Chain A
Amino acid sequence: MATKKTPTKRAPKKRTASSDVTNEQLLEFYREMLLIRRFEEKAGQMYGMGLIGGFCHLYIGQEAVVVGMQSALEERDTILTSYRDHGHMLACGMDPDGVMAELTGRSGGYSKGKGGSMHMFSEEKGFYGGHGIVGAQVPIGTGIAFAHKYLEENAVNVAYLGDGALNQGQVYESFNMASLWELPVVYVIENNSYAMGTSTARSSANSTELYHRGAAYGIPGMQVDGMDVIAVREAAKIAVEHARSGKGPYIMEMMTYRYRGHSMSDPAKYRSKEEVQKVREERDPIERLRAVMLKKKVIDEAGMKQIDKDVKAVVSKSAEFAQSSPEPDPSELYTDVYADA
């Protein structure tokens, strides 16, 4: 899929895919996407065992979006997202042990077991949640971008949102302020075609061009093949550079797909098995990168196997940690409500 851009501002010069991506970076993308997939599969298994409670929203299928975006960011940049957040945390370098232990509600989790799947944070890694109210992360991310500008840090915030969140009013309130005040924020719409069970065609006007949603505010947008990690990276470089250079916000619409249900208990009656199978066979981001790397002889089958094995070990370790880490002490019930004045 070609990268389409909104005509509201002069489109930046198009860069060819795979321009400057090194073999080492390709291997890193592959490893990170595989880590997210295996981690999420393990989370699904552990949910099935009753070790993870409540809601659990898996990122399987969408891995290229966050891995490609993250590769275009610098250490001082920040990100935040909605409740489908495990992939984002792993991509920004958070410890899989701490993420998995939060899913099991243990004291070794990032929020000491008090946040759960949807609520984790790491100031150290620039990850600001993990937000459970659809769309609420968008003004918050805009506010972090405001702080970046206020503190003159030359940093950028990436605020991820789904195609469903894009119909919340506060998203447009954010677009308006971000453009008005030229805030360094990149809005990444992860368009996986379904807002829970409602397709974009049934929920969103002009649903094939959601990247135009900022046009009224003068925010440039582009549509990107979110199943191609290299395309994501190349597009991200343009958007992030735009925001960092003081030109204000940018909107990226990532055309992606989630293989699993909205949450673990989603019957997924709103789409056919064939539809899911077709995406898995034809557009899977991990298989596509694997094919590219084999063709370019970046790595051989044996090397791939070794990466698989290494990733599996990391995930197994996180699952073990998440089961052996103790439950939070009952005294934790009352801590962290207020900071000491």
Chain B
Amino acid sequence: MPIEILMPALSPTMTEGKLAQWLKNEGDSVSSGDILAEIETDKATMEVEAVEEGILGKILIAGDTDNVAVNTPIAILLEEGETEADLANVSSSVPNSVAVTDTVAESSTPAPTPVSVSGPAVEFVAPESEWDGPVVKTTVREALRDAMAEEMRRNKKVFLMGEEVAQYQGAYKISQGLLDEFGAKRVIDTPITEHGFAGLGVGAAFYGLNPIVEFMTFNFAMQAIDHIINSAAKTRYMSGGQVSSPIVFRGPNGVASRVGAQHSQCYASWYAHCPGLKVVSPYSAADAKGLLKSAIRDPNPVIFLENELMYGTSFDVPDTDDWTVPIGKAKVVRPGTDVTIVTFSLMVGKALDAAEELAKEGISAEVIDLRTIRPLDTETILTSVRKTNRLVTVEEGWAFSGIGSEISAMVMEQAFDYLDAPVKRVAGVDVPLPYAANLEQLALPQSSHIITSAKEVCYRS
């Protein structure tokens, strides 16, 4: 059956173009790959290649014709054995192929469609059950190690890899003893190769293993951020739900002490920005243990942000090997009625100190430890703000596009009428972190800043 050759589009946005000239004449035989004609647009000249074999039966649009609409039949191709008499029996359109021979932009951008900023509904996450059994004084360091060891005993597909995690027993001694118990197959010293081992971990996770990838600090994970976001966070969506990345990226985050700008940064808002990731940043040892166990069991990529300054701090931890804390649930660590202070990680301690001072001045502050940054437990924050009508956010990272900014926007959208004062953000000063002791102190949020901000939103001086 004769086949129609259609005017091709150079890009999805092209609607018409000029049929410049025919390079084949009626009656010429044509084979696959032959150039039939040239077409011009304002952006480029392109050649029309034949895909089907046959004889150019009839040219419908002559050369040098302007404004030919895309998908207009421009010629009819006769198949082997057909003659002009068959021209009437044209088959359903089969378009031709195009090869571009002039400059054109690599992509064409379709008009954006408006989307709701609200996104999917936030799922309710039940808090962990109250523990009334025995507890053990445990450091955050030991709690993290115990979480990994327990999960490695529970699931043979869990393994730990990173720089100095095995023979050295961990740069910060988090993995102490793990090599002895689990051996070199499951506790793996990597070369200094963050981009490489993060990608390798993601590949192992795609195939069903449960890697724990330790970054000596999250500052070094910037070398690996392409794999964390483009490979780990997006693949489940891009694969239509087929391929998941059950992987944990963990290590110390934020400012340590006098290590300078490149080693002192909070990445909470960087990762919290990205759908597909979960972001956890605990304060207490019990939460560190319970959340790390949940993170290892989670079928999604989890960013687990620790704090070096917390590693040696002891807390009561439930004396059990099955203590988990749900991802996505904040915790009211000090109840209060006058002002809500929302924070996470090391800053929880500063906020609790501030609340103690504020109490002496007759201000009752409620302190919320987010524990999880993404998915954000908006309900716990909103419930508190509806009660106190005042909000201060505290984070070590920069304020610009920070976690406090996100919470502030969320509260404005969902509890505007409950606010009796503008939200205040306490955050790191907007500079790379300095080395000098006095400047470093000045650059970081202190309890005094939290106290001042809390008084401001309470209109007290």
User: Which A residues are closer than 8 A to B by beta carbons?
Assistant: 41-42, 44-50, 53-55, 78, 109-115, 119-123, 128-133, 136, 138-148, 150-151, 169-170, 173-174, 176-177, 180, 259-261, 263-269, 280, 334-341
Q: Once bound together, how far apart are the Cα atoms of A131 and B236, in whole Å?
A: 13
Q: Is B300 an interface residue (CB 8 A)?
A: yes
Segment of B102-110, B362-370, B399-407 in the binding face? B102-110
Take A128-B243, A169-B195, A337-B236 as given contacts and tell me if A53 and B110 are in contact as well, using a CB distance cutoff of 8 Å. yes
Which 10 residue pairs spanning A and B have beta carbons closest together?
Answer: A143-B203, A173-B196, A139-B199, A48-B8, A112-B240, A140-B203, A147-B207, A143-B200, A336-B241, A339-B299
Q: Contact check, A267 vs B102: say whether CB atoms are below 8 A apart.
A: yes
With contacts A143-B202, A341-B298, A341-B327 known, is A267 near B104, CB below 8 A? yes
Binds A, one of B225-233, B258-266, B347-355, B441-449: B225-233
Count chain B residues whose beta carbon lies closer than 8 angstroms to a beta carbon of A. Answer: 75
- Return chain B residues, CB-CB under 8 Å to A133: 226, 230-231
**Listed residue (B6, B44, B196, B275) with the most chain A CB atoms within 10 angstroms of its CB:** B196
Is there a chain A Cβ closer than 8 Å to B95's Cβ? yes
Residues in chain B near residue A339, CB distance under 8 A: 236, 241, 244, 246, 299-300
Known: A49-B8, A133-B230, A146-B203. 7 other contacts (CB 8 A): A48-B8, A141-B203, A146-B204, A265-B104, A267-B44, A337-B120, A337-B275
A138 to B231, CA, bound (A): 12
CA of A119 to CA of B236 in the docked complex: distance in angstroms? 10
Chain A residues positioned under 8 Å from B100 (CB to CB): 261, 264-268
Whether A131 lies near B203 (C-beta < 8 A) is: no
Would you call A143 and B206 a contact (CB within 8 A)? yes
A261-B99 contact, Cβ under 8 Å, with A78-B207, A142-B199: yes
- Cβ of A340 and Cβ of B299 under 8 Å apart? yes
CA distance A109 to B242 in the complex (A): 12
Given contacts A143-B200, A148-B207, contact A136 B230 (CB under 8 A): yes
A-contact 0/1 string along B178-205, CB 8 Å cutoff: 0000000100001101011111111111
What chain A residues lie within 8 Å of B101 (beta carbons)?
267-269
User: B97: CB under 8 A from chain A?
Assistant: yes
The answer to whether A143 and B105 touch (CB under 8 A), given A123-B242, A129-B235, A180-B191, is no
* Alpha-carbon separation in the docked complex, A268 to B300 (Å): 41
The distance in angstroms between the C-alpha atoms of A128 and B108, with both chains bound, is: 28
Is chain B's binding surface mostly helix, strand, loop or mixed? loop
* Closest A residue to B106 using CB positions: A265
**Contact residues, B162-181 vs A (CB, 8 A):** none
Query: Does A265 lie within 8 Å of B97, measured CB to CB?
Result: no
Q: Does B10 contact A (CB under 8 A)?
A: yes
CB nearest to A333 among chain B residues? B115
B199 contacts A338, CB within 8 Å?
no
Among residues of A, the one whose C-beta sits closest to the C-beta of B11 is A265
Partner of B239, one of A129, A141, A269: A129
A136 touches B226 (CB 8 A): yes
Contact, CB under 8 Å: A170 / B243: no
Q: Which of A48, A53, A111 contacts B97 (CB 8 A)?
A: A48
Whether A337 lies near B276 (C-beta < 8 A) is yes
- Alpha-carbon gap, A174 to B199, bound state (A): 9
Q: Is B208 an interface residue (CB 8 A)?
A: yes
| Contact residue among A115, A144, A338, A340 (Cβ-Cβ distance under 8 Å from B207) | A144
Bound CA–CA A130/B231 (angstroms): 11
Please tell me if B335 contacts chain A, counting CB pairs below 8 Å: no
Residues on the A chain within 8 Å of B11, using CB: 264-265
Could you say which of A50, A54, A119, A128 contacts B206, with CB atoms under 8 Å apart? A128
Q: Is B18 an interface residue (CB 8 A)?
A: no
Cα A111 to Cα B238 in complex, Å, equals 6
User: Could you show 30 A-B contacts with beta carbons less than 8 Å apart?
Assistant: A48-B98, A49-B95, A50-B9, A53-B110, A78-B207, A115-B240, A120-B239, A129-B239, A133-B226, A139-B203, A140-B200, A143-B200, A143-B203, A143-B206, A144-B204, A144-B207, A147-B207, A173-B196, A173-B199, A177-B196, A263-B106, A265-B10, A266-B100, A268-B100, A269-B103, A280-B33, A335-B241, A339-B241, A339-B246, A341-B297
Docked-complex contact A54 and B107, CB < 8 angstroms: yes
Kindly name the residue among B196, B200, B243, B244 whose own CB sees the greatest number of chain A CB atoms within 10 A. B200
Minimal beta-carbon separation of B429 from chain A (angstroms):
34
- B237 near A337 with CB under 8 A, answer yes
Task: Kindly state whether residue B96 has any CB partner on chain A within 8 Å.
Answer: yes
B200, A177: Cβ atoms under 8 Å?
Answer: yes
Tell me the bound Cα distance from A173 to B196 in angstroms.
5
B299 contact from A128, A136, A263, A341, Cβ within 8 A: A341
Among B230, B242, B244, the residue within 8 A (CB) of A111 is: B242
Q: Is the CB of A140 within 8 A of B102?
A: no
Contacts of B409 in A (CB 8 A): none
Chain A CB within 8 A of B32 CB: yes
A150 CB, min distance to chain B CBs, angstroms: 6
Min Cβ gap A199→B in Å is 18
Give the interface centre of B99, B108, B276 by most chain A CB atoms within 10 Å: B99
> A266: which B residues are within 8 A, CB to CB?
100
For window 206-255 of chain B, which residues contact chain A by CB distance below 8 Å? Answer: 206-209, 226-227, 230-231, 235-244, 246
- Looking at A41, A48, A128, A146, the one whose CB has the most chain B CB atoms below 10 A away is A48
Question: For A112, what are the chain B residues with a Cβ–Cβ distance below 8 Å?
Answer: 240-241
